[in-house]
Amino acid sequence: MFFTILLSLGEPVMQLLGMTQMGLLTNTFLGIGMFSFIFAANLIPAFIFRNYGFLAVIVWRLIDYAIWHMI
Q: Angle CA(20)–CA(22)–CA(26) in degrees, nearest 5? A: 45
Rounded to an integer, what distance in angstroms lies between the CA atom of residue 13 and that of residue 18?
9
Q: Is the pLDDT of residue 26 over 80?
A: yes
Q: For residue 40, name the pLDDT band (cuts at 50, 70, 90).
A: very high
User: What is the arithmetic mean of pLDDT over 2-29?
Assistant: 91
For the chain, the domains span 2-70
Residue 59 above 90 pLDDT?
yes
Q: What is the dihedral of CA 44, 47, 53, 54, to 10 degrees?
A: 40
pTM of the predicted model over 0.75: yes
